[in-house]
Amino acid sequence: MSPRARGPNTKPEAAEGVPPIIFGITGASGAPYAVRLLQQVLAASRPVSLIVSAHGFRLMETEADIKSMEDLRSAVGPDAWDDLVTPYTNADRGAPPASGSALSSGMVVCPCSMGTISAISAGASRSLIERAADVALKERRKLILVPRETPLSAIHLENMLRLTHAGAVVLPAAPAFYHRPEQISDLIDFVVARVLDLLGVKHMLGRRWDGKTAR
């Protein structure tokens, strides 16, 4: 699939030669993870190709009072957004993330609904998020999926196993407690830090386990 031109105001897809991270947000509960992760990726000066599904916006409105791309821009910081974020509509399957010839530094879907996991595992490619994930798998690029669902059915588990066999990393939004969290943000940062590590994005979120108690 060939990418479509986005007009004269198109921003470069990479900063200083670094391809963008493709960032999808879908309708699974976990909007605070998405906002914090995007903040940290931008804080590391990494360019982002951002795709939010319709259910992703509904989720962010419910959990974080974010109703639009402009609200999300304000939440993560407009200056970094304007320098590093290129948003795409989820219906645009001709956008650059839909093509293997458009380089990326991998893709993350956070949060990732079970419906999205099902579609990616089947290769449905009905939306830009699904197609971009399909591209990441076929190009052998990093694909990180962050589901937040419980309990899990056999269908959920089989879909996640299929994706793991295909090369994806399934990272459930399951915070730990050995670091002695004191507030909700500590739990959010634990999960976000694991995603950042897998993306190869430097961060300063929390301390790493060294075999000793957190205190």
> What would the DSSP string read from start to end of 157-215?
HHHHHHHHHHT-EE------STT---SHHHHHHHHHHHHHHHHT-----SPPP-SS---
Percent of the chain with pLDDT over 70: 91
21-199 CATH choice from 3.20.20.10, 3.30.2130.10, 3.40.50.1950, 3.30.720.120 = 3.40.50.1950
Mean pLDDT within 1-17 = 44
Question: What are the Cα distances from residue 173, in Å, to 32, 138, 144?
Answer: 11, 25, 12
Mean pLDDT, the chain, rounded, equals 91
At 206 the pLDDT is 78
At 31 the pLDDT is 96
- Identify the band that residue 212 occupies on the pLDDT scale cut at 50, 70 and 90: confident
Mean pLDDT within 8-16 = 46
Q: Is the pLDDT of residue 74 over 70?
A: yes
Q: What is the pLDDT of residues 133-188, one digit of tens each?
A: 999 999 999 999 999 999 999 999 999 999 999 999 999 999 999 888 999 999 99
Contact between residue 115 and residue 77 where contact means Cβ atoms under 8 Å apart: no
- The encoded tokens of residue 57 equal 């916006």
Mean pLDDT within 80-106 = 97
At 114 the pLDDT is 97
Task: Please tell me the pTM assigned to this model.
Answer: 0.89
Q: What is the pLDDT of residues 190-203, one digit of tens each?
A: 999 999 999 999 99
Task: Give the residue extent of every domain in the chain.
Answer: 21-199
